Structure 1
């Protein structure tokens, strides 16, 4: 599972029948995430936040899930993540179960990837109501990790995670409704989920909203105007006058000579000024 930030999970917790242990897991998730951010930024060298030490002394298995998350976030060897996740998972902690599933999904030197075990632990976490377990099970169904790929159950679990406040799940639901994957195509619902994800800082959701304005206008359009007809092409420049074209003059002379011969006319001049030399027929009067 990618490192995810809880969006509105805590605010919506009352809407879900979650157990006290899951509430603890959600608080531990936030605590471990903040500790990871501080250590990455060099603000603190804390490896075990005080709150986690309290859980350890209380023999609460959420301690192991928090440590697994912290190791995972800090890119520590997966062997350490596996150690903590396995201890917590076998005590029924949903956070630890989810991370144990992630370790089995990727594997590490000495432990090959085991997709079926990955799905087994992820689904245990999801069935307890842990939002990130629900998110990972959704991904498992979409990607066919340890289970036959099936978009419908994938969308079901992804929806549960999105409603619980997982920002990445909100973005995924926007994509699913937009493309009609696992759910009927619904632009309004797609926009709703993208808007929720964007409101919590999701970059991809913001990009989608920017490129799909609600009024249907082209992206970043400032005004819509009727297309203007292209101006007619300018006439080609005349570089040579008719009088300078000898072939044209000869053709004109031949035409009018034959014309006047046929009409038996007595014309001395042609035109004023004459375009061709005077045309004479018979005896002038």
Structure 2
């Protein structure tokens, strides 16, 4: 028997199904990867709001993570919503202890509805504990500015400078997402993939839809799926970008909720 590629998501649960653990598992499945999960928080959430957040105790998060890793060969890990410093520290300790690789860190801070998902005191822990363990981090421009304690990038030159500053914090590669770029007058938005030797701009057409809930979660989990299948970082990012672009383009085929609806994870099958 050949090995089944396995990805693990460590993230919060979105009861509305569009982001978080639910989006990650959908993306894994759509891309041919078996998904496992560690839930860090429960959210009472729909397409319009995050009504409540219930953090899972760090000890039980550790139990979930160790139990999965004791039995299942995990080929890649996506890390999403981690709202508390204690959670970040215990996850980082286990990842270091087990020498795990292919780690994609999506520094989730704010929901599409605008609700805050990361406590201020958690930013330092994220920088200190997890960025140096990451194969790739995938911040958007607001998240990059929070991680660096500087003003949000307003043009591509600032975007590239911030990617370099993030790279200096320890991750092997940075994918900084340009969808929020204020000076974009075109119908394209570009992401930047940066590692120690290469800067690669990845343009994509802007798609006119309000149904973009969970795009960041979906992109990072799609990248993890590619790494789980043995792709290198660049190939995994390119495959994931194409998949997410298709999911956004097909999002209006879904009629879910009255707010920012989900992307269409199974656009190629439904």
TM-score by length of structure 1 reads: 0.30
> Could you say which structure has the higher strand fraction?
2
- For the pair shown, the structure with the greater C-alpha radius of gyration is 1
TM-score by length of structure 2 reads: 0.31
Q: Which has the higher contact order (CA 8 A, sep 6+)?
A: 2
